[in-house]
Amino acid sequence: MDDDKIIDLYLSRDESAIRETEAKYGARLRQTAYRITEDRSTAEECENDAYLAAWNSIPPYEPRGYLAEYLLRLVKHAAIDVCRRNQRLKRRADFCELTKEMEECLPGKSSAEEELEAQELSGIITDFLQDYPEEQQSVFLRRYWFFDTVPEISRRFGFSQGKVKSILFRMRDALKKRLEREGYKA
């Protein structure tokens, strides 16, 4: 079914919206959640959480033109949340590596950090990425949005792995500085 029609089903509060979403995007959502949690049943729970979140958020949201990204965002949020809460799942090697890399962007602790809402933080990161050429934006997002490995990114862009690592290292470092400028004190 066409994405616009699926969104119309949500807007008219027709429960078949979820069935249609599952039919079209279920496998991809499960796979994305599995890639983060590496646990089939947890991945299915995340998928269901994503459907529920979609049901609860459309309306008011109307993700026309980006339903796939919207759903992926919801399922990733659910999966990241599970990892945050579950130490066992946190041990998955490549996701662990990802979180370690992200830790490098964290400035020193301050009382202000609790106050920064996730949405504001996303806005800051969007703004931060806009300072970079599209290619570098995409390298960053392939790693930290799509959770691609460095070899996968290297193949996609035709870069050496060293170059990918170097781009990511510099961007993480710059992001850390940017976050500090936004009110975090080391």
In the complex with other proteins, the residue whose CB is nearer, 2 or 14, is: 2
- CB contact set of 38 (below 8 Å; sequence gap of 6+): 89, 92, 95
Residue 41 touching other proteins (CB under 8 A):
no
Number of residues in the chain: 186
DSSP-based three-state secondary structure for 62:
coil
Residue 83 touching other proteins (CB under 8 A):
yes
Angle CA 95–81–181, to nearest 5: 80
- Could you tell me how far CA 151 lies from the centroid of its own chain? 19
Q: By CB under 8 A, name the one of 2, 52, 126, 185 that touches other proteins.
A: 126
DSSP state of 129: H
Q: By CB under 8 A, name the one of 129, 177, 180, 182 that touches other proteins.
A: 129
Q: By CB under 8 A, name the one of 4, 14, 131, 173 that touches other proteins.
A: 173
Min CB(7)–other proteins separation in Å:
14
- CB contact set of 61 (below 8 Å; sequence gap of 6+): 70
Q: By CB under 8 A, name the one of 76, 164, 167, 168 that touches other proteins.
A: 76
Q: Are 131 and 140 in contact (CB under 8 A)?
A: no
Min CB(131)–other proteins separation in Å:
12
Q: Which amino acid makes up residue 87?
A: Q
In the complex with other proteins, the residue whose CB is nearer, 45 or 113, is: 113
Min CB(174)–other proteins separation in Å:
10
CA distance readout (Å), 2 to 7, 25, 75, 120, 132: 9, 12, 20, 32, 34
Please give the residue ranges that form the binding site for other proteins (CB under 8 A).
27, 31, 34-35, 38, 66, 69-70, 73, 76-77, 80-81, 83-84, 91-94, 97-100, 102-103, 105-106, 113-114, 116, 118-119, 121-122, 124-126, 129, 134-135, 137-139, 141-142, 144-146, 149, 151-152, 155-158, 160, 162-163, 169-170, 173
